[in-house]
Amino acid sequence: MTGWTWEYEGYVPADERLRESLCTLGNGCFATRGALPECGADEVHYPGTYVAGCYNRLTSEVAGRQVENEDMVNVPDWLPLRFRRPGGPWLTPDTATVLDHRQTLHLSAGMLERRTRYDLGEGRALTVRQQRLVHLADPHLAALRTEFTAEGFSGPLEVEAALDGGVTNSGVARYRDLDGRHLTHVHTGTAAPDTVWLRCRTRTSDIRIGMAARLTADAPLTVRHELPRAVQQMTLDLMPGSTSTVDKTVALHTSRDPAISDPLNAAVDRVGRAPGFDELLETHLTAWDQLWRRADLDVPGEAGRILRLHLFHVLQTLSPHTADLDVGVPARGLHGEAYRGHVFWDELFVLPYLNLHFPEVSRALLRYRHRRLEQACTAARSAGRRGAMYPWQSGSDGREETQQLHLNPRSGRWLPDHSHLQHHVGSAIAYNVWQYCEASGDTEFLHTKGAEMLLQIARFWADSAVYDETLGRHRIRGVVGPDEYHEAYPDAKEPGLDDNAYTNVTAAWVLARTLELLRSLPEPRHRELVERTGLDGGELELWEDVSRTLHIPFHTDVISQFDGYGELAELDWAGYRARYGDIRRLDRILEAEGDSVNRYQASKQADVLMLGYLFSPAELRSLFRRLGYRLDEDTWRRTVDHYLHRTSHGSTLSGLVHGWVLARARRAEAWKFCQEALRGDIADIQGGTTGEGIHLGAMAGTLDLVQRGLTGLETRGGALRLDPVPLPELSSYGFALRYQGHWGVRLRLEYERLEIAVPVSDASPIDLRLPDRTVSLPPGETVRLLLPD
């Protein structure tokens, strides 16, 4: 690990899946895992290419039930390129002796380089060097340069390149009982002497896929078509010490792409027009250079190097090209098949970063949600509710994609999955709309699509709330909170919990913000919205009432995760750690023992503490005050302590949220959790999950930790608010951001000083608000502030 490179030395089969995920290359439209081109899919290797928004739905028989699942499709593999001496076996690290092996991910260049020396015996060796890119300037191109150098011998080397349409979705072991054959009608052909093509379509979503590959080398080519593969062959004449080069250039289109008539014709035309590798690399480097300038981040030490890797993967998944697509935030990036490529609530951790660098991408991701607003309203009606009930897992069309059953690998049992009751995802969408508009100043979106989403989400919460005369408060029953461990009360016949604190507080926030927005709308737009939605004064009165009377449960002067949480049993944490070591997935351990985590005060990840992640201390106190509760520092500190000792951290998001909250509540302990968040994927802390795809929310969240968490940065009320809490381990760093039309605003935190510089422009001054002062900073000016102790 150096400043701008990520290197792996030596060939370690057990680490290949992890390396493939972390060496994935992408451009926002598609991404390809960092698998070795000479290796096919097996227990060690898993090449995969995924197109943003390309889903397919299949039905499988599981545990005697017909189960329907929609997956992000592993499209045809463009990587295959293998080689051998005539009459010998194809050379791979698994079948030949490897003398040296190194993979280097060049972050600044968006390029993956590998060097491998194969031992051919009798003092002979073959060095293979490859450079791979998924083009950032042209989002439909990828290229692979392979250089072969003979050592101690001369003679022929057979090289075979292919496009492979026989791939399946089989990269996650626990999904292998499910049908993963998503491609059908595979055809191949020859477009030119140096170019082959492959076309196919997805089985049910009927997305057509076209791919074309051009092979360039100083040797004659032969072509053969062996369905489902298109194969190009050549024989290189190697000389000792000299290098022979083979360039493979690939174009990929689908029928979801705009401005094309046919994906196959588009792919063949594009690869035919594509320049050579050197020119492709030059334009690719320029595009990455521009992207890095917009996302400038200067953090010293190991933390800075890891953050740069995280930023690289965020930008590969959600690049400026994403602004032109109808896609959401895939929880595991475009890096693998875990979670089936679905869209959860992870945008809650991703958009706050993008808002201040690539607001056009944030807007596109919110439009994905708006396009599925009608489906969310249909789901609410089907559940007997008004408004919009967004799905916990979303895919192509916005219906609920949460699996009906999930497999516990420890017990081997398929179990009912009730996570679809996490209706708090609607509040996350509303929060993202509000945050985006505050950061960007995009009142047009707020008054149109944003207002429409907020109104229907608020309507759902008001209709879900039931008045309890005994309490004199409204209650929201039958939900699941962010914790995810607790899906039901002990021994209950039906799933769902009552008055999850996080759900109720965020629902109250949505109602309050929506009422505020409706009051501020221009009269003509307000009238349109009322006419379109049937909103009336009585409904608004109900919203006002519910936003002030939702029940928040407490026990022993601590905010309860849900009503009745304080009556659950305490878990023998020390005993379980002694027995199992890693108890992050405590739910699986207990179920395998015939027990249930529903019986215990034990959380998978932050639930109540998520409130301290979303809201500043002042805003959180204000929310509780609106609800009629007093939340003082002692109560919040007790709440943090309570859950800190009862959380197994079975999610990569848990360390992030705890680090964020502890930076203000218990600073001495914050860095431990920040480190866990930073190392979540590179160290595969969750035990093998990173090989199935990165955790995009956690990666983006670490970027936002240094951007907003430790600076106390808020975009609220037309001002840039700052309340820094620098950690001793991370107290000197800088970054640039984009705020309400100001490009390249630079912030630098230096121990007890804060410097802010606004580039020259014709924009209005920025209103800066710190706890002890307010500063108006016009373009072209720099301010240096001493921070209070």
Contacts of 493 (CB under 8 A, 6+ apart): none
CA 563 vs. chain centroid, Å, equals: 32
For the chain, percent of residues with pLDDT exceeding 70: 100
Sign of the dihedral defined by the CA atoms of residues 35, 36, 41, 43, in that order:
negative
| pLDDT on residue 709 | 94
> pLDDT digits over 91-126, tens only?
999 999 999 999 999 999 999 999 999 999 999 999
Number of Cβ within 10 Å of residue 593's Cβ equals 12
Cα separation, 392 vs 421, in Å, equals 7
Mean pLDDT of 236-255: 97
Write out the two tokens for 753: 């000083």
Helix axes 633-644, 617-626, angle to 10 degrees: 100
Question: Residues 296, 737: contact at Cβ < 8 Å?
Answer: no
Question: Residues 231, 221: contact at Cβ < 8 Å?
Answer: no
Cα separation, 514 vs 518, in Å, equals 6
> pLDDT digits over 642-671, tens only?
999 999 999 999 999 999 999 988 888 899
Instruction: Decide if pLDDT at 385 tops 70.
Output: yes
- Top pLDDT among 728 and 542 is at 542
- Secondary structure (3-state) at 397: coil
Nearest to 485, CA basis, from 379, 395, 565, 387? 565
Contacts of 227 (CB under 8 A, 6+ apart): 165, 186, 187, 188
Instruction: Decide if pLDDT at 726 tops 90.
Output: no
CA 690 vs. chain centroid, Å, equals: 12
Q: What does DSSP say about strands 243-254 and 155-164: parallel, antiparallel, or unpaired?
A: unpaired
| Cα 117-120-125 angle, rounded to 5 deg | 40
> pLDDT digits over 700-719, tens only?
999 999 999 999 999 998 99
Question: Residues 248, 146: contact at Cβ < 8 Å?
Answer: yes
Quickly tell me which residue has 């690869």 as its tokens.
271
> pLDDT digits over 743-783, tens only?
999 999 988 899 999 999 999 999 999 988 999 999 999 99
Instruction: Decide if pLDDT at 424 tops 70.
Output: yes
pTM of the complete model beyond 0.75? yes
> pLDDT digits over 17-36, tens only?
999 999 999 999 999 999 99
Number of Cβ within 10 Å of residue 646's Cβ equals 17
Number of Cβ within 10 Å of residue 246's Cβ equals 22
Instruction: Decide if pLDDT at 573 tops 80.
Output: yes
Question: Residues 162, 232: contact at Cβ < 8 Å?
Answer: yes
| pLDDT on residue 787 | 82
**557 burial class (0-12, 13-18, 19+ CB within 10 angstroms)?**
exposed
- DSSP code for 330: B
> pLDDT digits over 473-506, tens only?
999 999 999 998 999 999 999 999 999 999 999 9
Return the bridge partners of 441, or none: none
Question: Residues 636, 621: contact at Cβ < 8 Å?
Answer: no
Instruction: Decide if pLDDT at 76 tops 80.
Output: yes
Sign of the dihedral defined by the CA atoms of residues 722, 727, 730, 732, in that order:
positive
> pLDDT digits over 529-551, tens only?
999 999 999 999 999 999 999 99
> pLDDT digits over 297-314, tens only?
999 999 999 999 999 999
Active-site residue set: 484
For the chain, percent of residues with pLDDT exceeding 90: 93
Phi, psi for 706 (deg, rounded to 5): -80, -25
List Cα–Cα distances, 467 to 380, 422, 426, 560, in angstroms. Answer: 20, 21, 21, 20
Instruction: Decide if pLDDT at 687 tops 90.
Output: no
> pLDDT digits over 157-185, tens only?
999 999 999 999 999 998 988 999 999 99
| pLDDT on residue 158 | 98
Instruction: Decide if pLDDT at 1 tops 70.
Output: no
| pLDDT on residue 123 | 94
Contacts of 412 (CB under 8 A, 6+ apart): none
Write out the two tokens for 12: 């370690």
Number of Cβ within 10 Å of residue 122's Cβ equals 7
| pLDDT on residue 62 | 84
| pLDDT on residue 731 | 85
Nearest to 517, CA basis, from 546, 538, 543? 543
